[in-house]
Amino acid sequence: MKTFAQMTAGFSLSALALASCAQAESVESTATASGAAMSISEMATIEQPWAIEFMPGTSMLAITIKEGGLMLMDTSNGSMIEVGGAPEVAFGGQGGFGDVAFLPSEAGSAGPRTIYLSWAEFGEDGDTRGAVVGRGNLACDSGNTACNIEGLEVIWRQAPKVTGRGHYSHRISFSPDEQYMYVASGDRQKLTPAQDLTNTLGTIVRLNLDGTPAQGNPFADRGGVTAEIWSYGHRNILGMDWDAQGRLWDVEHGPAGGDEFNLVAEGANYGWPTRSYGNHYNGDPITDHSPDDGFTKPAVHWTPVIAPGDMIFYTGDMFADWNGDALIAGLSSNAIVRVELTGDGGATEAERIDIDGRVRSIDEAPDGSIWLATDQGKVMKVSM
């Protein structure tokens, strides 16, 4: 058996060279809408973070690097290591390393545990690209000073691979019972495939944990990739999470206007590109949603856009008034956008917490603090 020194020998230190940690290097004080004081602290800097995710039951924060690489930050002391065995990615445009996800039931230590990753992959011709999801095992030494991904294999591929470098989506979310994996599959800026059930562009797919189509999917009888589809008519989903009632919600980018917060339902068609509250970038109008048009309209939509980067439902006690609310990472809005559910499948924006930067990803720590990654390369902590 290889030692951890052997497993980690030769790893690229490029990501480490671009990362630095600080214990509350800078602190900004602000307040919630209810007047409660909060602090926003810069905890580390790292180039091109795309997704952050706490390992359940630990203080370890996983951070994917868009250009390639996976970092682990121990938020209890600020130390950071590069994980070996990360995949090669098709970097460029909106593509590169995507999401990282862990099974909540595998809690208590950094490793060994199952790790799920998404990234953009080149097609065989080198000109096309598509999102993929891979599964492997994360192994760490006893002090979490060296970690490596073992046995990583691709278990799902977006179909088909196409030209272009945008709208991969590739967010990963597990059902509360951990029986199923939901993967957001963007329209790849091709528009009309989102209404075509013979491909998975512009969809959310529902899979078993090994990447095969889940039994009971709404179009399972059609076979092929159609059997994977849970919902369709999506554009570019960059966040998914489950509310306290066990319902899946997403946030997605509209075109010029029309960002959406959606309650995701089995077999539902969300309208893109036939319906949107935004317009095409060239100014051409898109028909708004209307009653009985056969499409599912968003619970909340935004024009001007917030440019959602990620989302969670808050479950902690530190911000007790926010329990059960959606917290959306805002890119162009430079904010955490808090959305309250109304109980009837509706929702309303409650407030925005200004952040110094484009908020790319958001997660809740075990102590209830909120952690962020920005496009400006900051890892930040929001706490009381």
**Residue 25 located in a structural domain:** no
What CATH number does the domain containing 155 carry? 2.120.10.30
Cis peptide before 112 (omega within 30 of 0): yes
Give residue 287's domain range: 30-383
Could you tell me if 176 and 246 are in contact, meaning their C-beta atoms sit under 8 angstroms apart? Answer: yes
First vs last Cα of the chain: how many Å apart? 46
The pLDDT assigned to 99 comes to 99
The pLDDT assigned to 33 comes to 83
The pLDDT assigned to 13 comes to 41
The pLDDT assigned to 22 comes to 47
Task: Give the count of domains, the chain.
Answer: 1
Distance CA 377, CA 360 (A): 10
**Residue 23 located in a structural domain:** no
Distance CA 266, CA 232 (A): 9
**Residue 3 located in a structural domain:** no
The pLDDT assigned to 109 comes to 79
Regions in the chain scoring below 50 on pLDDT? 1-17, 22-24
* pLDDT tens per residue across span 296-327: 999 999 999 999 999 999 999 999 999 999 99
Strand-pair partners of 193? none
The pLDDT assigned to 26 comes to 72
pTM of the model: 0.94
**Residue 10 located in a structural domain:** no
**Residue 320 located in a structural domain:** yes
* pLDDT tens per residue across span 263-297: 999 999 999 999 999 999 999 999 999 999 999 99
**Residue 202 located in a structural domain:** yes
The pLDDT assigned to 352 comes to 98
**Residue 17 located in a structural domain:** no
**Residue 14 located in a structural domain:** no
Element containing residue 5 per DSSP (H, E): helix 4-8
